[in-house]
A and B are shown apart, each in its own frame.
Chain A
Amino acid sequence: MDLAVEQAGAVSVVAVKGRIDGSNAREFEEKLMAGIGAHETSVVLDMSTLDYISSAGLRVFLVVAKHLQEADRGFALCSLSAEVGEVFEITGFNSIINIHDDRDAAVSAVSG
């Protein structure tokens, strides 16, 4: 699991790569919070290179989503693989976290 943070205008775009499961969820949470905590910007997670996620990983998304909502910062996901998308659907996370098909759509959605 790797994270890459880049700025797209006023939005922090974080690209997530690899697997997120119980063995690295904590590490993922720490890295992600460190990556987005540094800026008071909205956040887009680009999931195009995320292969796998379990509920332990979802937990991190929920924590981050709540954190950003409290800070009044935008938060969206984009480019979910079919399998990852299915997990979001099963758990209803697609209805509480904004999910977009591609990065541009997500960035423009949180920029507004």
Chain B
Amino acid sequence: MTNRSLLDWRPKLATRLYAAIGGAVAFVLVSSIVAWLAFVQLGEQQREIASQHLPAITHSLQLAERAAQIASIAPRLLVVDSDDARSNVIESLTALEREILGLLNLLKTDSQDDGVGAEADLTEAVRGNGQNFSSLLRELGQTEAQRAALEVELGRMTASAVETHHQLREIIVPLLDDRTFFLVTGYQSLDDQRPVPASGRLDGEAVVSFGALFDLEAEVNLMTVVLSEMGAVEDAALLTPLVERFEAARDRFSAALARADDLPQANTLREIFAKLVAVGAAESGIPDIRRRVLELRQESVAVVDESRQIASNISDNVNQIVDIKRSRSEASLAATEAIVSNGQQLLLWLNGFALAGAILISWLYIKRSFTTPVVKLTAAAEAFEQGDYDPNFLKSTSARSDELGQLATTFSSMAEEVRARTQKLDDLVAERTDQLNKKNEALAQSLERIEDELEMAQRMQVSILPKRVPERLRTSIFAEMKAARAVGGDFYDFIDLGENRLGFAIADVSDKGVPAAFMMAVCYTKLRSLALRGLSPGTVMELLNEDLSADNDSAMFVTAFYAVVDLEQGTLTYANAGHDAPILSQSAQGCNMLKSTRGVALGAMPGLTYDELSYTLRPGDTVFCYTDGITEAFNASGEAFTAGRLISLLDELGPLPPEALCAEVVHAVEKHAGGSPQSDDITCIAFRRDPEDDPLHAEGNVAEASYVVRPDLSDIAVLAERMLAFGAANGVPDATMRKINLALDELLTNTLMHGASEKGVPVITVRAQRRDNGVEVIVEDDAAAFNPLDQEAPDIGQPLEDRPVGGLGIHIVRSLIDDVAYSRTGDKNRVTLFKQIET
């Protein structure tokens, strides 16, 4: 292990962590900036495209403005009166016109205007209008110039008229004043203060009447006024009356001049007057010029109107162009805004992805840097704990330069150390275990050998015990033995003694195991040899006791019961050497202990005698012998089975065949013990004086017989055979008996099939009796209370499809049997049948 300072330790992990976080932040920043730049550039491009519309719009607006200016400036031409002013106006209009044409060219700066369509048409219209406008302007200029010239001419003529007027008045007015003075004063004149001659006439001078002079002056004034009016009239229609007035005045002047023909100034007046007439002449005079001026004025007004109209058209068209440009610009702006909005979302997404990517990369990095090695270390620790640690497992982690790598290296070397130590210990344990196993094997072999031998001993022990008595004895005896250990101390025996006699014994050696088995074998052999000598039970016991107690160093003793039964007479003779008293089970009296003979256990002491007792068994009586393995079978709570319980059980079981009886008892004992280990050998013998010996078997002329039905439907046929035999023995015809048998079949089948309960298959007893002119049969069973007669009679008239399957049995019974009755007696069902003999 390398020795590093704490300062070395810290930065490594921290650096990795900072690197992970910094990398993530940098990733996010870079991604954001890149995305932002891309977005900004895109937006800029769009903005630029949108902005290209602006100049076009600006130009359009300027164009509209110019058009409006033209429309407002043009009429001014009509009111200006100086050439300078006129040329100024025209100049500015020309400038505007040029500007309009220039703007029309500039309108093309709109990037999206392709020069066709409505906009192009409008532009073309504006252009056309602009050109029309120019020609109109030129026309207007010429007209106005012409009009101006005429106005000058008019002014000159008016001035001439005024001049002429003055000349005429200079002649006429002094003359008129003199005449007026002459008339008022009578003097010749203002200058000549001489009285007028009496003739009334002035000498030397043409006498001109006062009236003619007065008319001349008036007419001159009138003409001059009319001429001035002519020069200023604004309506050509007014010229004609003025011309007429002028001409009338002229004529009157001429007439007056004629009257004053004697005036020396008449010719002068006439000459001057001619000038005035020329000015006022309808042709080429003031009226004519004035008319032409008015015509030109009208033309100009029309041109101005037209130009105003054109300007208005230009304005309208331009406004339409502006609208188109504006809407296009707005669409472009909207598109730009959409791009901006989309770009914002895109930016958001890009940022999201960038963040997710950064987190993922950071996670992967952290996982690689921290989690993976830590997990590997943990896994290694777990594997090490479970003992399947692979030294190469941490190789990659150990290669890391950071402290986790160092930890892995340390762990690896530590693990190796521990593994080596463990290996050493394991080897040691394996060595010891091997030694132990060898010893155990040796022991097991010994034990197996012993067990084999014990098993063989038990097989031998069991094999020496008989299973059944010879068939020819036609008796019914059965024994059951369950040893507590491999070899037991209990035994039993059936011995055929000849002359229809059967001996049977049951015994229990005081100890258990192999010594007891030896003792049992000795005792069994000796008892059998003594019994076969035909000795009575008491004598057998006495001799056996002598024999066993003679050399009984081990102080073992044996309790035994030995009985001899005369199978013909049913006489049971027995002796009891300290054994549990057997139980006598009788259908009439129930179960009772056989009376004791009070003998002492065998082998205890020599010199003892053993009493004998006899009892005559009736058919069906059962003697049940047992060892204390039954009565002293304990259950888990330490309760013994007891003889009392055994008697109750046998009472309950009733007259079962011996084999069934033994099986039931052993089953009950095992059930009582539950799972508790068997404390002692369990042995029992049941001997029943066979019911076959009873009169039902048709031996002898007896009036009463009984039969216990086996829990098997096929036994009903056996019963039927016996009933036929009973009938034959008692003078009952087969036909009658067969009907009884059918009725019994129906009843018993029903009971056996439906009467079973937790108590087991019911025990059925059939008792037949010859009575009066018929046969009475009583059937009893211990099943739950059931009265078959309660069943409703079936409707035998029903058609096939409606007939129920079953329910006919009791109907058959009622039909075949004369009298059927049911009663419940104690815990038994009893059905009594009576059938008259049919003749």
Does B797 contact A21, Cβ atoms closer than 8 Å? no
**B200 part of interface (Cβ distance < 8 Å):** no
User: With the chains together, A55 CA to B309 CA distance in Å?
Assistant: 132
- Bound CA span A110–B423, Å: 93
B-facing mask of A64-104, CB < 8 A → 1, else 0?
01100100000000000001000100111101110000000
Stretch of B145-153, B591-599, B802-810 lying at the A interface: B802-810
B745 touches A90 (CB 8 A): no
Q: CB-CB contacts of A30-67 with B at 8 A, as 1s and 0s?
A: 00000000000000000000001011101100110110
Taking a contact as CB atoms closer than 8 A, the residue among B717, B797, B801 that contacts A66 in the complex is B801
Residue in chain B with minimal CB distance to A56: B749
Known: A59-B805, A59-B806, A90-B815. A21 touches B800 (CB 8 A): no
Minimum distance in angstroms from A56 CB to a CB of chain B: 6
Within 8 A of A (CB), among B747-771: 749, 752-753
User: Please, how many angstroms separate the alpha-carbon atoms of A63 and B812 in the complex?
Assistant: 18
Give chain B residues whose Cβ lies under 8 Å from the Cβ of A21.
Answer: 713, 716-717, 745, 749
**Contact A91 to B749, CB < 8 A, known contacts A66-B801, A83-B738:** no
User: How far does the alpha carbon of A45 sit from the alpha carbon of B713 in the complex, in Å?
Assistant: 25
Contact B816 A90 (CB under 8 A): yes
Q: Which residues of B contact A59 (CB under 8 A)?
A: 805-806, 808
Q: Are A92 and B812 in contact (CB under 8 A)?
A: no
Instruction: Across the interface, name the chain A residue whose C-beta is closest to B742.
Output: A54
Measured CA separation A23–B798 after assembly (Å)? 27
Query: CB < 8 Å: which of A63, A83, A91 contacts B808?
Result: A91
Which of A55, A62, A66, A96 has a CB less than 8 Å from the CB of B746?
Answer: A55
**A19 CA / B741 CA spacing, docked (Å):** 13
* A91/B738 in contact, CB under 8 A: no
Beta-carbon contacts under 8 Å, B291-335 to A: none
B800 touches A91 (CB 8 A): no
**A22-B749, A23-B716, A91-B812 are known contacts. Are A63 and B803 too (CB-CB below 8 A)?**
no
B808, A58: Cβ atoms closer than 8 Å? yes
Whether the Cβ atoms of A90 and B800 lie closer than 8 Å is no
State which of A23, A55, A56, A87 has its C-beta within 8 Å of the C-beta of B714: A23
Pairwise interchain contact A96-B800, C-beta atoms closer than 8 A: yes
Against A, the Cβ 8 Å flags (1 = close, 0 = not) of B449-493 are 000000000000000000000000000000000000000000000
Closest Cβ of chain B to A71, distance in Å, is: 13
Most buried by B among A55, A58, A66, A92: A55
Q: How far is the CB of A35 from chain B (nearest CB, A)?
A: 20
B644 within 8 A of A: no
Whether the Cβ atoms of B717 and A54 lie closer than 8 Å is: no
Taking the closest CB of chain B, its distance from the CB of A62, in whole angstroms, is 5
A95–B797 CB distance below 8 A:
yes
Q: Is A54 a contact partner of B738 (Cβ separation < 8 A)?
A: no
Query: What chain A residues lie within 8 Å of B809 (beta carbons)?
Result: 54-56
Name B734's closest neighbour in chain A (CB-CB). Answer: A83
Task: Report how far A95 CA is from B798 CA in the complex, Å.
Answer: 9
Please determine whether B717 and A55 come into contact, CB atoms closer than 8 angstroms: no
B116 contacts partner chain A, Cβ-Cβ < 8 Å: no
- The answer to whether A22 touches B811 (Cβ under 8 A) is no
- Chain A residue contacts of B753, Cβ below 8 A: 22
Q: How far is the CA of A58 from the CA of B796 in the complex (A)?
A: 13
The residue of chain A having its C-beta at the shortest distance from the C-beta of B752 within the complex is A22
Contact partners of A52 in chain B: CB under 8 A: 738, 742
Quick check: B800 and A55 within 8 Å, CB to CB? no
**How many chain A residues touch B (Cβ–Cβ < 8 Å)?**
24
Q: Which of A19, A22, A65 contacts B800 (CB under 8 A)?
A: A65
Q: Which of B712, B716, B808: most chain A CB closer than 10 A?
A: B808
State how many residues of chain B have any CB contact under 8 Å with chain A: 29
Residue of A nearest to B714 (CB): A23
A96 to B797: give the CA distance in the assembly, Å.
8
Contact A54 B803 (CB under 8 A): no
The 8 Å CB contact of A69, one of B716, B738, B742, B801, is B801
At the interface, yes or no: B675 with Cβ under 8 Å from chain A? no
Q: Is B204 close to A, CB under 8 A?
A: no
Judge whether B607 is part of the interface by a CB distance below 8 angstroms.
no
Closest residue of B by beta carbon distance from A60: B805
CA A19 to CA B717, docked complex, whole Å: 9
Q: Which residues of A contact B746 (CB under 8 A)?
A: 54-55
Q: CA–CA, A54 to B748, complex, Å? A: 11
Q: Give bound CA distance, A52 to B738, whole Å.
A: 9
Q: How far is the CB of A94 from chain B (nearest CB, A)?
A: 10
Which residues of chain A come closer than 8 Å to B798, judged between CB atoms? 92, 96
- For A19, A54, A62, the residue with the greatest tally of chain B CB atoms inside 10 Å of its CB is A54
* Chain A residue, CB-CB nearest to B810: A55
Closest to B804 in A: A62
- Chain B residues with CB under 8 Å of A91's CB are 794, 796, 808, 811-812
Q: Roughly how many angstroms separate A54 CA and B799 CA in the complex, as a whole number?
A: 20
A69–B803 alpha-carbon span in the complex (Å): 13
Q: A65 CA to B798 CA in the complex, in Å?
A: 14
CA distance A97 to B799 in the complex (A): 9
- Minimum Cβ distance to chain B for residue A26 (Å): 10
Q: Which residues on A sit within 8 Å (CB–CB) of B800?
A: 62, 65-66, 69, 96-97
Pick the contact of A63 from B749, B801, B805 — CB < 8 Å? B805
Minimum C-beta distance from A69 to chain B (A) = 6
Q: Mark A2-26, 1 if CB is under 8 A from B, else 0.
A: 0000000000000000010111000
Contacts of A87 in B (CB 8 A): 742, 812
Q: Chain A residues near B816 (CB, 8 Å)? A: 90
- Bound Cα distance A68, B760 (Å): 39
Query: Which residues of chain A are near B712, meaning CB under 8 Å?
Result: 23
Known A-B contacts A87-B812, A91-B811; A54 and B749 likewise in contact (beta carbons under 8 Å): yes
Min CB distance B796 to A, Å, is 3
Say whether A23 contacts B713, CB under 8 Å: yes
A90 and B812 contact, CB distance less than 8 A:
yes
Q: How far is the CA of A59 from the CA of B749 in the complex (A)?
A: 13
Chain B residue numbers with a CB within 8 Å of A97 are 800
When distances are taken between beta carbons in the complex, the residues of chain B under 8 Å from A62 are 800, 803, 805
Docked complex Cα distance between A40 and B816 (Å): 38
Which residues of A sit under 8 angstroms from B745, Cβ to Cβ? 21-22, 54
* Cα distance, A93 to B812, chains bound together (Å): 12
> In whole angstroms, how far apart are the Cα atoms of A36 and B803 in the complex?
22
Query: A56: which B residues are within 8 A, CB to CB?
Result: 749, 809
Are B716 and A22 neighbours in the complex by a CB distance under 8 Å? yes
Q: Which residues of A contact B796 (CB under 8 A)?
A: 90-93, 95
CA distance A93 to B797 in the complex (A): 9
Chain A residues contacting B806 (CB-CB under 8 Å) are: 55, 59
Which B residues lie within 8 Å of A63 (CB)? 805
Contacts of A54 in B (CB 8 A): 742, 745-746, 749, 809, 812
Query: Shortest Cβ distance from B817 into chain A, in angstroms?
Result: 11
Min Cβ gap A31→B in Å is 17
Residue of B nearest to A82 (CB): B735
Q: Give, as a whole number of angstroms, the nearest-CB distance from B809 to chain A.
A: 4
Task: Chain B residues near A92: list those with CB within 8 A.
Answer: 796-798
Which of B713, B797, B812 lies in contact with A22, CB distance below 8 A? B713
Query: How distant is the Cα of A68 from the Cα of B806 in the complex, in angstroms?
Result: 18
Residues of A close to B794: CB separation below 8 A: 91
Which A residues are CB-close (under 8 A) to B808?
Answer: 55, 58-59, 91
Bound complex: CA A62 to CA B182 (Å): 189
Bound Cα distance A65, B543 (Å): 74
Could you pull out 8 A-B pairs where Cβ atoms are within 8 angstroms?
A: A23-B713, A23-B714, A55-B746, A69-B801, A87-B812, A90-B815, A95-B796, A96-B803
In order of increasing CB-CB distance, the 6 nearest A-B pairs are: A92-B796, A22-B749, A23-B713, A55-B808, A90-B815, A96-B800
- Residues of chain B touching chain A, judged by Cβ–Cβ distance below 8 Å, are 712-714, 716-717, 735, 738, 742, 745-746, 749, 752-753, 794, 796-801, 803, 805-806, 808-809, 811-812, 815-816
Known A21-B716, A87-B742; 5 more pairs at CB < 8 Å: A52-B738, A83-B738, A83-B742, A96-B800, A96-B803
